[in-house]
């Protein structure tokens, strides 16, 4: 698909500086506990696509342990 003709959303994040990301869709979900890690589910259409996961809430010392 030609990216110049496709629909995307621009978002701006700041992680030790600024980086502009181009995104085709944005989801906000809560991570669910699975064993000793976490999991989020995305739509089946996203299978095989590249994604970036951005932590929106700060980590607490208790959460990390």
2, pLDDT greater than 50: no
Strand partners, 19: 13
- Structural domain includes residue 65: no
- Structural domain includes residue 16: yes
pTM above 0.85, yes or no: no
- Structural domain includes residue 30: yes
- Structural domain includes residue 1: no
**pLDDT tens digit sequence for 20-63:** 777 788 889 999 999 999 999 999 999 999 998 888 888 886 65
- Structural domain includes residue 47: yes
Return the sign of the alpha-carbon dihedral for residues 35, 48, 15, 40. negative
- Structural domain includes residue 63: no
Give the residue numbers spanning the domain of 37.
Answer: 9-54
């Amino acid at each position: 698909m030609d990216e110049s003709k496709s629909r995307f959303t621009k978002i701006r994040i700041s992680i030790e500086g600024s980086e502009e990301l181009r995104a085709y869709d944005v989801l906000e979900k809560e991570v669910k506990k699975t064993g000793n890690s976490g999991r989020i589910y995305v739509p089946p259409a996203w299978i095989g696509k590249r994604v970036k996961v951005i932590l929106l809430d700060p980590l607490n010392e208790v959460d990390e342990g």
